[in-house]
Structure 1
Amino acid sequence: MMKLKFSTLLLVALVLTSFLIPATIAGSEFCDSKCNFRCSKAGRQDRCLKYCGICCAECHCVPSGTSGNKDECPCYRDKKNSKGGPKCP
């Protein structure tokens, strides 16, 4: 009885994982490509990519262009750093 429950739980976990991993990879590729373009003209590219990636992962969007256009993504626009300034580049 215990082996059956464990086997069933393991099978469910494997099925759920097979659905979640591709979505995570696709999300990462989306953020990487959008942030690479967004930060392409930034003076501190490493910092821009870091914060853009964080904001993209949380908001699931990145404004178009290399700057501005933040109204396209209100979540991205409204994120603030600890000093109250904009968090997302």
Structure 2
Amino acid sequence: MIEFRKVSFWYAEEDQIFDNVQEVLKDVSLTIKNGEFVVLLGRNASGKSTLARHCNALLVPKRGDVLVEGINTKDLELI
């Protein structure tokens, strides 16, 4: 199971000079159960790939949590 709990993500860091940092993902909550088939549809640059990259911990949320089989991706040590 993959669970997104109020996930928010943006690419610019908070300490950069950008006044209007736009969130790519904002408070996304979603549960995908084992065996379910999910399709992500949307416009270019709407966050589809960003959302998918959170599933395998290539990205970690700035806010919120992503759990894969109950394990928070923030707690994983990647090689």
Range into which the TM-score falls when normalised by the shorter chain: under 0.3
Q: Which has the higher contact order (CA 8 A, sep 6+)?
A: 2
| Higher relative strand content | 2
Relative to the length of structure 1, the TM-score reads: 0.22
Relative to the length of structure 2, the TM-score reads: 0.24
| Higher relative helix content | 1
